[in-house]
Structure 1
Amino acid sequence: MSDTTASIRRKIEGVKDLRSVVSTMKALAAANIGQYEKSTLALKDYYRSVQLGLSACFRAGTPPARHVAAKTGANRGVTGVIVLGTDHGLVGQFNESIALHAAQTLALLPGRKKIWAVGERVQDRLVDLGISVAEVFAVPLSIKSIIPLTGEILLRILAPALSEGVNVEGAEGKGGNEMNTFYLFYNAYRSGLTYEPFHQRLLPLDESWRRELLQLPWPARNLPEMVGGNIVTLHALIREYLFASLFLACAESLASENASRLTAMERAEKNIDELSTELQKTFNRLRQSRIDEELFDVIAGVEAARGEAK
């Protein structure tokens, strides 16, 4: 009986240590969500400003079609895809949900695909779903580390196009196999510690994209006037648009990762508390049983002593 109570006591101590670890992970996840939320909100404001700048370019005068619209047959090239996951643990079904969403969406898209994964674990999930991954990027560990990742991805996207004379706004290059279409897949952060798999088309910046920007309401009564060349300004804003889109996707993915971890830690904390309560009840029951046995032994000894005295 004593071995059993000692074993349960060790389990109770182990559960307390585990709860301390879970509480620490929960606090870190909550702190990280705060900074990623602030970064996401700030970047959304900047992203909106870039969109308005592009809208102003188009309102000031429509550039030549070669600068904003895809030529006929531009979509015959390879479809580029970036899937943002995580290599960090305790995130529940984070990688599984975005990998499944990417697989289901890509199955509906025609043509060849070139898949890039951010994180080795999401790469494994994609491979399990029958999707081959061309390259894997390291998962950013902080807001500051998003900038190098975004720059590297943009360089990979734009460098072949620029070297071969491909227009990033959708024009077809000489080879015919360039990544004229590009998609982003990531878990988008939602309020209330929730997220959902999401995807957006990053390229081409075609006529439909231009029309969407033209429909944006201007926040003032007077329409803006362009200073300098429209095409130069347009290209500068396009670079900022691509950078902001990638940065925002990475920031939302990191916020979603920490939201998933925080939710997982809250569930673990609840389960640990329930387990601790059950172990404590079992320990108390066994200890009371041992005390009762000892009392019965004492009473039996007293009764036996009385019998001998008579």
Structure 2
Amino acid sequence: MDTLENLRGKIEGAKDLKSVVNAMKAMAGSNIIQYETAVSSLAAYYYTIALGIVGYFKAEQIAAIEKPKGFKNKEEVICAIVFGSDQGLVGQFNDSMANFVSEYFKALTGKKEVWVVGERMQLLLSDEGFNTSKIYPVPNAINGVTPLITEILNQSRKSQDNENISVFYIFHNKPKPDSGYIPVMQRFLPLDQQWKDDLQETEWPTKLLPQLAGAVRPTLATLIKGYLFTSLFKACVESLASENASRLEAMQRAEKNISDQLEDLNKKYHRLRQSSIDEELFDVVSGSEALKKS
């Protein structure tokens, strides 16, 4: 049975927990601003890079891309680069992504390899039967994204040069325009005919044919380098924005639950306190009546 002292302790504990939730809520809200700003600026930059590559295809009249050589006598190995989180209190952020990867990645043919950004995602994917060969920490701020992306790009380049992995896919959560997020998948490498067909969904905005200014090969190399870096950078930042949005929603739900719990505890406390006061008054009145009779 609850006592006044017990209820008082529960109320103080709930207040302390609410202050922690408020602090995490404020931190998530602050992080969302920087990540959403990066997402919006990257969208325009990514479109510019894609448009530049499409313009290159048109200017050089490239109709098809030859299939890359290699992997002739080897089983095709496909790799999923999955962005998750290192921290909890993010709702269904990791679970929905793990289910999405399991559904789409298992349907692909070939030997599979998984690179994961975030320890919690690695644990969930292990439960789904995937073996993780590389684990990267999640950046704590926007300044930590570039070193992470550079490392992944270097590792993917080495894997392709050594003919260890033939195809790369990117899996990450992407913020929705209104609120929330959705899991998405993107074919990252190789840069073959399928990549060209997907990229050319970005239509050239005018009827005028583009022209290249400068040497052909350096221009293409710069565009490709920018495309690969921006693709991974964009995926990482969108994942971070989605993670903090999910954490903010979780903190808002927790704040509401704690407020409701506090309200119930305060009601119980005041009822019990009033009941104890009534009992004391009843004892005083009873004692006074007994003294009068005697």
For residue 129 of structure 1, report the CA deviation from its aligned partner. Answer: 1.0
The structure 1 residue matched to 2:269, chosen from 279, 283, 286, is 283
Q: C-alpha distance in 2, partners of 1:161/1:289? A: 76
8 Å CA contact 1:69–1:205 kept in 2: the answer is no
TM-score (normalizing by structure 1): 0.88
Q: Within the alignment, does 1:268 sit opposite 2:254 as a pair?
A: yes
TM-score (normalizing by structure 2): 0.93
8 Å CA contact 1:58–1:214 kept in 2: the answer is no
8 Å CA contact 1:70–1:205 kept in 2: the answer is no
For residue 77 of structure 1, report the CA deviation from its aligned partner. Answer: 2.3
Give the stretch that moved more between structures: 183-192 or 125-134. 183-192
Taking a change above 3 Å as real, the CA distance of residues 50 and 74 of structure 1, as seen in their structure-2 partners, is: farther
Give the stretch that moved more between structures: 267-276 or 70-79. 70-79
> What does residue range 84-103 of structure 1 map to in structure 2 within 5 Å?
84-103=83-102
Give the stretch that moved more between structures: 297-306 or 72-81. 72-81
Q: C-alpha distance in 1, partners of 2:146/2:184? A: 21
8 Å CA contact 2:173–2:242 kept in 1: the answer is yes
For residue 223 of structure 1, report the CA deviation from its aligned partner. Answer: 3.1
Q: Within the alignment, does 1:199 sit opposite 2:185 as a pair?
A: yes
Q: C-alpha distance in 2, partners of 1:69/1:29? A: 46
User: Which residue of the partner structure matches residue 70 of structure 1?
Assistant: 67
Aligned AA (2:123): D
Aligned AA (1:299): V
* 5+ long unaligned stretches in structure 2: none
The structure 1 residue matched to 2:221, chosen from 231, 235, 243, is 235
Q: C-alpha distance in 2, partners of 1:287/1:133? A: 57
8 Å CA contact 2:145–2:233 kept in 1: the answer is yes
Q: CA RMSD in A?
A: 2.0
User: Which residue of the partner structure matches residue 61 of structure 1?
Assistant: 60
Q: C-alpha distance in 2, partners of 1:259/1:215? A: 30
* 5+ long unaligned stretches in structure 1: 165-176
Q: C-alpha distance in 2, partners of 1:64/1:83? A: 32
For residue 72 of structure 1, report the CA deviation from its aligned partner. Answer: 8.1
Deviation sequence 1:3-27 (CA, Å, 0-9, x none): 8101101111111111111111111
> What does residue range 128-207 of structure 1 map to in structure 2 within 5 Å?
128-162=127-161, 177-207=163-193
Identity %: 46
For residue 103 of structure 1, report the CA deviation from its aligned partner. Answer: 1.2
